[in-house]
Amino acid sequence: MFDSTVLEVALGLTFCFCSVSLIVSSVNEGISSFLKLRGKYLLGGLKTLLNDPTGSGLVLDLYNHARLNPGGSGRAPALEQLHGLPSYVEPRQFAVALIEVLQAAAGNPGTPGDLLAAIEHVPEGQLRDVLRNMYRRAGADAQRFETEVAYWFENAMDRLSGNYKRTMQWCALLVGFALAVLMNIDALHLFKVLWEHPALMRQIDTTQLLDAHSALNNLTATSLPIGWERPPFTYQGGVLGSNYHFSEFAQMAAGWAITASSTLFGSPFWFDMLQKITHLRGTGPKAA
C-alpha cells in the first residue's frame, strides 16, 4: 500500500495540473474560435489537397457550393469575400460537391456518365492523375467514385487534424506557462510543501473541478502554496528592482515549465488520474 504522504502529494499535484489544464483548454478554445483557426486550417488543407494554392480555382468553386458552405452566398468572387468559413465538412458532402463542381466546370452539370470528361477537364498535374486513378479503381461507377473521393478526403483531414492538434498543443504550452507565471504555480515548490505538510490536502475538495471557472476559483481560494508571497518586482524612484534572487527565479521557472508541460496531456487525462488517486486514497489511512 502506498504511504499516505505519497498519495497526498500525488493528489495535490494532480489536482493542480487538472485545474490548470481545464483553464488552458477553455482559453485555447476561445483563441481558436476568435481566430477561426479550424476554418482556416480546413481552407489551407483544401488548397493543398486540390493543388490550388491561391484558392481562386476549385477551392473557390467549392466554397461557393451549398453542400460545402451552406452559409455562403454562392457568388463570392474571391475567398476574402466569403461570409464565414466552415470549420468541418462531412466527407460525403465534399465528394458530392467536388463531383458537381467538376461537372459544372466541364460544361456537363449533373451528367454522371461524363465524369471522366469532367476529370480530364482538370488542369494537367497531380490532382488530375489522382482523380483519374480513383475513377479507374471505381470501375467507372459514379457511386463508387464518390466513395473513393470521400475516403481520400477523410484521410487528408485526418492528417490535417493532427497538424491542428500539434498547433493547439504549442498554444496550450504557451498559455499554460503564462498562467503558471501569472499565478506562480510552481510544481516543484508545490511538491516540496505537500511533502512536508501532506495534511494541506484535507482542506481541498477534489470533486469541485467542473469547468474552467470552478478550476480558477479553486486555484485562487485553495490552501495550496500557489500565488506570489510578494510582488516579483518593485518600482521605486524610477528604478525597477527584483524581490527575488536570480537563483530563486531559475527554480521557479523550472516549476512553471513543469506546470505548463502538464497541459500537453489534456484535462481528461488529469481528471481521470484525479479520480483514480482519490479512490486509492479512500482505501488507505488519512494523512496525519
Q: Which residues contact 82 (CB under 8 A, 6 or more apart)?
A: 63, 69, 72, 76
In the prediction, which pLDDT does 1 show?
Answer: 41
User: Which regions of the chain are under pLDDT 70?
Assistant: 1-3, 108-113, 282-288
Q: How confident is the model over 222-265, as pLDDT tens digits?
A: 778 888 888 888 888 778 888 888 998 999 999 999 999 999 99
Number of Cβ atoms within 10 Å of the Cβ of 52? 18
In order of 103, 111, 140, 145, 147, the CA distances from 92 in angstroms are 17, 18, 18, 11, 7
Per-residue burial over 164-179, b = 16 or more CB atoms within 10 Å of its CB, e = otherwise: beeebeebbbebbbeb
For the chain, what is the radius of gyration of the CA atoms? 27
Please state, in angstroms and rounded to a whole number, the distance separating the CA atoms of residues 280 and 76: 59
Residue 213 confidence (pLDDT): 86
Cα–Cα dist 189/197, whole Å: 12
pTM: 0.81
Please give the pLDDT value at position 145.
94
Query: Tell me, what's the pLDDT at 260?
Result: 96
Query: What phi and psi values does residue 85 have, to the nearest 5 degrees?
Result: -120, 130
User: From CA 232, how far away is CA 240, in angstroms rounded?
Assistant: 10
Summary count for the chain: helices (H), strands (E): 11, 2
> How far is 156 from 89, CA to CA, in rounded Å?
12
Domain boundaries, the chain: 4-35+170-282, 37-166
Q: What is the pLDDT of residue 108?
A: 63
Write the DSSP string, 144-161: HHHHHHHHHHHHHHHHHH
pLDDT (0 to 100) of residue 156: 94
Which is nearest to 45 in space by CA: 167, 193, 208, 134? 167
